[in-house]
Structures are given as C-alpha cells and as structure tokens.
Amino acid sequence: MKKKKWLKITLGIFAVLLLIDIIASFYFYNLAIDRNKKEFLQGNQDLEVSAEAMEVFLDGDWRTWVANQDFDEWTMTSYDGIKLKGYFLEAKEPTNKVVVLAHGYLGDAQDMGLYGQYYYEQFGYNIFMADARGHAASGGDYIGFGWHDRLDYIDWINRIVEKYGKDTEIVLHGVSMGAATVLMSAGEELPSNVKAIVADSPYTSVEGMFSYQMDRMYNIPSFPVLPSTSIVSKLQAGYSFTEASALEQVKKAEVPILYIHGNADTFVPTKMAKVLYKNTQSEAELMIVDGAGHGEAFVTEKEKYVERLKTFLGNYMED
C-alpha cells in the first residue's frame, strides 16, 4: 500500500511539473517568438545605450535621409507563402555594387538606413533593405530569428541579380538578429554574386541566445523549459532552436565574413562573436570595439568601424 501511495504521489508531482513546463513553454513562445506587442525588453539594462548612441538612433540625420529617399517598394511571396516587403534604392551613379541590409529583432528595414546612408553616400552602392518576416510591413505570425529568413534573403538576392545582371556584386550586412540572418544564409548555396558578409553583434544560435537570456533575465535554468519551448516553436513556427544555428552554418561558409562586436555588449555576449569567428570555414576577420554595447559600434567608434569596413570590402569587392 505504501508503495502505491508513493507511486501516486510521484506521478502526481511529475504531472504537475509537466503541466508547469508546458505552460511555461507556451508562455516563452508567446513572449519571444509569436508576433505580438513586445514589452518584456522595456527597461532591460542590457539594452541601455550611451547618450551619444541614443541621440543618433532616435534623432540622427539618417532618419530624415531615409524619409527623403525614393525607394522602390518590392514585394515577394516566400517559399512558404508569406508576403514579404523590401525596399531598393538605386545609387546616384550607375554601379553593379549592392548592399543588402538586415535589421534586428523587433526592428524594420528603415532602421538599417543608418548604415545604408553611408553605403549610398560614401561607397556609392545601391541599397536593398527588407522587413523580416513577422516584422513591419512583411507578413508572418512569428519571428524567425534568422532561420527561415535566411532563405527569404537568398530569394531577395536572386531577384536583385535577375533584375540588375549577372555581374552584380553584393555584400550582406546585418546587425543583431540581422547579423545572425546573414550568417545563417552563409551556410547555404549562395549565388556567386555575394562577395562578402558583415555581421555586427551576432548570436551563435537561437538556443544559445535564449539559454543566455533565460539565465540573465529570469534567473532560471534552461532545462527543461528551453527544450520544450523549442518543441512548441517547431510545431507553431516550423523551426527548432537547435537547428536555427548560425554557428553550424558558418562552418559551411564560403563567403568572407567580417565580425564586429562591442566588448561591453551584455545582451548578446561578445564571446559569441569569438566562437563564430573561430569556427568560420571561409576567410574571416574579427573586430572587437572597446566600450560598445549591443549594436552601438557604428556610432561610438564610427571612424574605426568604417575604416575596417573599407579595408575588408576592398579585398573582396572589385573596383
């Protein structure tokens, strides 16, 4: 009788814990991946930026510049039926150079105008920016964290080449989630037109990123909630956290990659960029920016940033 009693108690405890885990899994899926209003990042100290960076991000002249440009609006249906929106701006002078810019989590294409303006005015490049699935004017009821987006960007790239010719030379430049996106695309069979990739503040994988944030933001262990949330993601969004790995993709990369990361980044730890760099199959460079927080390097150390960018692109983009 005692054994049966303890068995019932054990099974009861297990059932309660399982129920809690299931509830927590759907909670975290809804919190981070489902397309809805996100408030959990408000007040996050890891995302606090310097006064200098905040002023540029919010009120920089680049915002006026973006608003005044006559972007061609492109639409595309993704491989899985999602309506996507992109924006193309032809350079002042004819050129075969194009920068494809990828924005971060909860952002939109126009956020990349900060970088686009520089490519346009200083490098004379054509610019393409897209709203990632689950963001802004693009469709989708979930956020892909770069995994499904990697295929969307390859489709955008193919469209650019089809429209502007086989001699088109392309650089991919992403920040944060956008950086992970372009790195994830690097593991696919990219068109030879893609000559270089710039990844600013990337994470190694969705699993690695969430594991880090669960500990830092919520002080809870990743197991068992993270694996079960990954299952929910697979069922709801079509991808698991383990498969959505920039780290595994760069091990197959053939395109040169420049990694940029601030050593004061506590939202996406700097060590992730170092791990990615060490595991990159293609030619790679790593630039650590002193004192820069998450995605701040272009503002806080712009001169060093653009000088390294010029040198890197000069090695792979034809004159």
279 has a pLDDT exceeding 60: yes
Does residue 44 register a pLDDT over 90? no
Instruction: Using CA atoms of 33, 35, 40, 46 in order, give the dihedral in degrees to the nearest 10.
Output: 60
**What is the predicted pLDDT for the residue at 313?**
97
Is residue 50 over pLDDT 70? no
Domains and CATH numbers, the chain: 49-205+244-316 (3.40.50.1820)
- Please tell me the predicted confidence (pLDDT) of residue 286: 98
When comparing pLDDT for 7 and 116, which is higher? 116
Q: Which pLDDT belongs to residue 1?
A: 57
pLDDT at 21: 81
Q: Comparing 220 with 252, which gets the higher pLDDT?
A: 252
pLDDT given at position 207: 97
Q: What percent of the chain has pLDDT over 70?
A: 92
Q: Which residue has the tokens 């960076």?
A: 53
pLDDT at residue 268, as a whole number: 96
Burial category of 81 from C-beta neighbours within 10 Å (exposed 0-12, middle 13-18, buried 19 and up): exposed
Token output for 318: 């034809």
Per-residue pLDDT, averaged over 24-32, amounts to 92
Entry field: residues in the chain: 319
- pLDDT confidence of residue 25: 92
Average pLDDT of span 54-67: 87
pLDDT tens digit sequence for 222-260: 889 999 999 999 999 999 999 999 999 999 999 999 999
Tokens 């006026």 belong to: 64
| Model confidence at 200: pLDDT above 80 | yes
Average pLDDT score over residue span 183-208: 98
Sign of CA dihedral 29, 33, 39, 44: positive
Q: Could you tell me what percent of the chain has a pLDDT over 90? A: 82
Q: What is the pLDDT of residue 129?
A: 98
Would the pLDDT of 16 be above 80?
Answer: no
Identify the residue whose tokens are 């005692």.
2
pLDDT, mean over the chain: 93
Confidence band for 54, pLDDT divided at 50, 70 and 90: confident
Helix (H, G, I), strand (E, B) or coil at 195: strand
Q: Name the residue with higher pLDDT: 132 or 6.
A: 132
